[in-house]
A and B are shown apart, each in its own frame.
Chain A
Amino acid sequence: MILLWGIASDGPLSSVQATLLRLGAGFKFVDQQDVLRCRLELTVNGGVGGRIETPQWSADLNSFNAVYLRPYDVRRLPAMQGVKPTNLRWRRALQFDDTLTCWMDMTPSFVISRPSAMASNNSKPYQLSLIQAAGFAVPDTLVTTDTTAAIEFWEQHGSVVYKSISGTRSIVSRVRAEHRDRFPDLANCPTQFQQYIEGIDYRIHVVGDEVFGCEICSDADDYRYPQLQGAELQVRQYEVPPDVSQSCRFLAASLNLPVAGLDLRRSAAGEWFCFEANPSPAFTFYQDTSAQPISWAIAELLAGAVR
């Protein structure tokens, strides 16, 4: 049996769910919107076991051989609207998510992907050092609270971008002359600057041994938000060169991620840079625009673990 965890309207989760239905693979879905009506019991007695109950079904945790998780921050879900942090229901929701997350790290079942493995994405410079250790070129990066250091870094590279350090989503932006006035604010919080690499963006999805490539053509600093700069965006299927495919597989494996969305850029000199490994990629955008069966590959991977 396969366990799916997340919210019903999540694109990747619903896409995998629909494919599992077509494959005829058995699965149970835990809807995070039901968090306040779910129950969980965990037992530790040599191994780990327990039971999960939702409004629709209940099951022994050991009956799940494979798990696909796409959880959201439970505190921000509509189901939690009106529930205050001082309320017992708030605590219950957090405990449920926390306990289920821990089980997913402890269970010997196949998990896409284990929460502890996904944690490298919580710190981009930390993950960047892991990406470099796996053999990819990475852009020169400075994290600083120092105005002088930031300006020197900018002058050294000529063109730099800034973006969040944590997993908090931010819009990657080029540092421009008008930002100079804000540089003294850097003292408040470490800020990440990165050498701007001229080139073409690629999103590569690794699913087990399979590799799906997308070439992205856009003039925007951050192609995810082309409208902010009035830029065009084109995404098309890309045949990833074998050596790059192998590097991508190796990186995902080194991060212990059965599924990963890798952000690559090929420089004008032909060098492949890797910026980030997304441990729980929102692949449906790329799947829909490039007509590649990513959800099918994920569903096959889950079903294969159950057979």
Chain B
Amino acid sequence: MLVVVGSQHDQAAQELVAAWTTHCAALLTCEDLSTAGWQLRVPGRSRSQAVVSGKIISEEDIQGVVMRRPWIIEGELTHITASDREYVAAEMNAFLLAWLTSLKCPVLNRPSGTSLCGPNWRAFQWAQAAAAAGFKVQPAKWRVPPPRTNCSKHSEEPSPLIDVTVIGKRCIGEVELQCQEAARRLSQRANTILLGVRLRRTDDGPVFASATATPDLKGEEIANAVVNYMLANRAKSGSA
């Protein structure tokens, strides 16, 4: 089974599950965390047990996990008494962090401690890491409170954007080899297997625009690459 962790209101997550029906994909929502059946032991003497789409699943039956959310937020816990939602959201996030970290199968992406999916980096942290990874990055400034007028200078005609998706060692996107290598390095720095990088095409060549640990997985090539990565690395770990 492939597990997609997302909200039941997340259309992209639902589409991903539909696209991977042949791999028995299923959506794990916050409602599943309010269902009897979860078990996690620390120290990990036994495999954990999860609830996915309402069904109890043994960890051994999970071939891979794709994260589509950085956190569970209290506002979506409508099935929990309003006064308890903040506490329950914190508990669910803490539990998911421990469970996702304990899994032996591929998790795209594993939690960092500050996010359930990769690093919880802000735009300026991505920019600094992108520069260190070898991307051209325009000097940028962030202010709190933000200025009344936008301090960044934008050209009249926004330059075209290019999306690059890193999946393990594979890089999908129509960019030069140098940019592909920089994208892989950025993925390593961010400690992610799955990374979306957006570049801006300029006269001086591609310039880093943004990055995300939850890239858009629409498109057959990317979705297949994600599945192939999970299946190949599940096999490598020696599990059934």
Q: Is B192 part of the contact surface with A, judged by Cβ < 8 Å?
A: no
Interface of B is mostly: mixed
Q: Chain A's nearest CB lies how many Å from the CB of B99? A: 8
Docked CA distance A39–B92 (Å): 34
Q: Is B43 part of the contact surface with A, judged by Cβ < 8 Å?
A: yes
Q: Is B37 part of the contact surface with A, judged by Cβ < 8 Å?
A: yes
Q: Is A289 part of the contact surface with B, judged by Cβ < 8 Å?
A: no
Given contacts A145-B37, A166-B93, contact A128 B42 (CB under 8 A): yes
**Range, interface on chain A:** 35 or more
B33 contacts which chain A residues (CB < 8 A)? 145, 189-190
Asked if residues B95 and A190 are in contact (CB atoms below 8 Å), the reply is yes
Which single member of A92, A116, A128, A149 contacts B114 (CB below 8 Å)? Answer: A116
Asked if residues B42 and A40 are in contact (CB atoms below 8 Å), the reply is no
Asked if residues B139 and A45 are in contact (CB atoms below 8 Å), the reply is yes
Docked CA distance A187–B34 (Å): 5
Q: Is A267 part of the contact surface with B, judged by Cβ < 8 Å?
A: no
A122 contacts which chain B residues (CB < 8 A)? 93-94, 97, 113-114
Which single member of B35, B43, B113 contacts A129 (CB below 8 Å)? Answer: B43
Q: Chain A's nearest CB lies how many Å from the CB of B61? A: 17
Listed in ascending order, the chain B residues whose CB lies under 8 Å from chain A are: 33-45, 49, 51, 80, 87-88, 90-95, 97-99, 101-102, 111-114, 119, 121-122, 124-125, 127-128, 131, 137, 139-146
Asked if residues A190 and B38 are in contact (CB atoms below 8 Å), the reply is yes
Docked CA distance A95–B144 (Å): 7
Asked if residues B101 and A129 are in contact (CB atoms below 8 Å), the reply is yes
Q: Is A188 part of the contact surface with B, judged by Cβ < 8 Å?
A: yes
A87 contacts which chain B residues (CB < 8 A)? none
Q: Is A247 part of the contact surface with B, judged by Cβ < 8 Å?
A: no
Asked if residues B91 and A168 are in contact (CB atoms below 8 Å), the reply is yes
Asked if residues A187 and B145 are in contact (CB atoms below 8 Å), the reply is no
B124 contacts which chain A residues (CB < 8 A)? 42, 44, 48, 102, 106
Docked CA distance A41–B139 (Å): 13
